[in-house]
């Protein structure tokens, strides 16, 4: 089924009909309040498999919320703009989506670190939450310096620390990592370089040799980089790619030089079914980390029954429901709606739309316990987390998966870095440096 799914995806990613269908806004219920959301999608170009799944799920969930009574009666509206995962176009889309029918957006989700960096300095001025779901500027997790930026529920420095922890466990302990060589193979962008501050520090502390190798976007040409890897003969490779073409190309090149796939660890943006299938048998054994696990969880099934059963689904191929990218988009949208519920309650506006400042308060009050996640129908799909005034990351946890040729198998539970306080210290140091350089007085948190 998934093989057929992939073939359909490959042939429909740029179908204009899919884009047009996503632009159809739900009809406004007479007399009902509405809350407007932006969809800064990336449905075309080399990163389209990621964007169609992620943003398709967000629209599916908003449709689902409307079909089940809205948010305390407040109905959701949205508008979509195509960024092509391009920073300049992301800024254009942000400006285009900022207001509609007199209502301003309360949250923005670029699904890309370059785009996040491009708009991040506008958030405070515009009173818009930048929801970096596992991507973006890492020191945005310090809410005292970045009160409008959130990395919920985990960021790239925690992710690379979890990967190194997993490698150490495979090798027999941190002491066994001394003298090991690791290659960080990454797309040459802010996204590809984002984990390096933490990675450089940890590998140095452990006595490892780190080799950094970049790949020009869109990453389809990698032969010279893999020849360099063959010369370096590393013990591990961390792959920080984006787009199914780039991600699958890495696996086929690894097979060509006989580099073992069970010594490769993929970033969350390479950890989806669409990234694995094009590589065929060359993908078998590859490790990847997840901040949202695939599977048909209760909420996933309910959306499939209600939304797709009514012919209102956003995906061209319903078989993609429950895949990694779709579930991740669902996780992001669930956070939006929980924040909206919080904001309504906190500001005595139940049944009414909220402002950006009120929504920010609601987002900062997110407390996604295991019980609450289960109540929402996504228990086990996401790591439990809570946000606070100072800590805008939350969980800081990831699950390791391994590809068997047909599906991902979960290898670990939700794992935190070996020393979360160390990672948090790096975040605070980076944020403090930015604040000093830009004359920012950090917010005081109680």
The predicted model gives 156-185 an average pLDDT of: 98
Q: Tell me which CATH homologous superfamily contains domain 157-292+401-419.
A: Response regulator (3.40.50.2300)
pLDDT at 20: 37
Q: What pLDDT does 32 receive?
A: 80
Give me the mean pLDDT over the 197-226 stretch: 97
Distance of alpha carbon 75 from alpha carbon 25, whole angstroms: 11
Q: Which residue has the tokens 């060509």?
A: 256
| Contact (CB, 8 A) for 332 and 59 | no
Q: Cα separation of 148 and 99, whole Å?
A: 18
* pLDDT score recorded for residue 31: 57
Q: Tens of pLDDT along 171-199? A: 999 999 999 999 999 999 999 999 999 99
Identical fold between 2-155+297-396+425-437 and 157-292+401-419: yes
Comparing 26-40, 83-97, 172-186, 213-227, the range with the smallest average pLDDT is: 26-40
Residue-level pLDDT at 28: 47
Nearest to 378 by CA among 290, 308, 300: 300
Q: Tens digit of pLDDT for each residue in 46-74?
A: 999 999 999 999 999 999 999 999 999 99
Q: What integer best gives the mean pLDDT of the chain? A: 93
Among the listed ranges 233-237, 267-271, 379-383, which one has the minimum average pLDDT value? 267-271
CA dihedral over 365, 369, 373, 374, signed as positive or negative: negative
For 2-155+297-396+425-437, CATH gives 3.40.50.2300
Q: Where are the domains of the chain?
A: 2-155+297-396+425-437, 157-292+401-419
Beta strand 236-240 with 264-266: parallel, antiparallel or unpaired?
Answer: parallel
In percent, how much of the chain has pLDDT > 70?
93
pLDDT digits (tens, 9 = 90+) for 315-351: 999 999 999 999 999 999 999 999 999 999 999 999 9
The answer to whether 166 and 287 are in contact (CB under 8 A) is yes
pLDDT at residue 142 is higher than 50: yes
């Amino acid at each position: 089924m998934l093989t057929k799914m992939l073939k359909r995806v490959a042939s429909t990613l740029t179908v204009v009909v899919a884009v047009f269908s996503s632009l159809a806004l739900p009809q406004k219920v007479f007399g009902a309040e509405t809350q407007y959301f932006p969809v800064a999608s990336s449905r075309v170009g080399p990163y389209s498999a990621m964007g169609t799944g992620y943003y398709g799920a967000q629209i599916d969930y908003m449709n689902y919320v409307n079909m089940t009574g809205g948010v305390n009666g407040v109905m959701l509206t949205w508008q979509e703009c195509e960024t092509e995962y391009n920073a300049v176009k992301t800024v254009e889309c942000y400006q285009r989506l900022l207001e509609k029918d007199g209502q301003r957006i309360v949250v923005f989700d670029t699904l890309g670190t370059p785009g996040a960096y491009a708009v991040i300095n506008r958030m405070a001025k515009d009173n818009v939450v930048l929801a970096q779901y596992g991507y973006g500027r890492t020191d945005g997790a310090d809410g005292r310096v970045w009160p409008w930026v959130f990395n919920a529920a985990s960021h790239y420095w925690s992710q690379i620390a979890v990967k190194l922890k997993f490698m150490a466990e495979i090798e027999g302990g941190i002491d066994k990592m001394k003298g090991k060589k690791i290659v960080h193979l990454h797309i040459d962008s802010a996204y590809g370089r984002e984990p390096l501050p933490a990675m450089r520090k940890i590998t140095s502390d452990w006595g490892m040799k780190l080799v950094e190798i970049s790949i020009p976007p869109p990453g389809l040409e990698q032969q010279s980089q893999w020849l360099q890897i063959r010369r370096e003969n590393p013990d591990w490779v961390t792959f920080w790619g984006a787009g199914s073409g780039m991600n699958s190309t890495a696996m086929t090149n690894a097979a060509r030089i006989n580099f073992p796939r069970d010594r490769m660890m993929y970033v969350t943006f390479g950890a989806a079914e669409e990234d694995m299938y094009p590589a065929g048998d060359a993908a078998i054994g590859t490790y990847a980390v997840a901040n949202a696990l695939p599977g048909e969880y209760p909420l996933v099934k309910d959306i499939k029954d209600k939304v797709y059963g009514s012919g209102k689904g956003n995906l061209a191929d319903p078989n993609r429901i429950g895949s990694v990218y779709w579930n991740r988009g669902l996780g992001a949208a669930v956070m939006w709606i929980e924040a909206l519920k919080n904001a309504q309650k906190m500001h005595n506006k139940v049944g009414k739309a909220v402002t950006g400042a009120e929504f920010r308060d609601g987002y900062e009050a997110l407390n996604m316990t295991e019980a609450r996640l289960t109540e929402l129908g996504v228990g086990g799909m996401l790591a439990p987390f809570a946000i606070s005034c100072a800590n805008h990351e939350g969980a800081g946890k990831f699950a390791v998966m391994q590809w068997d040729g047909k599906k991902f198998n979960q290898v670990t539970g939700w794992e935190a870095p070996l020393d979360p306080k160390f990672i948090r210290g790096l975040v605070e140091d980076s944020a403090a440096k930015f604040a000093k350089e830009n004359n920012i007085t950090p917010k005081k948190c109680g």
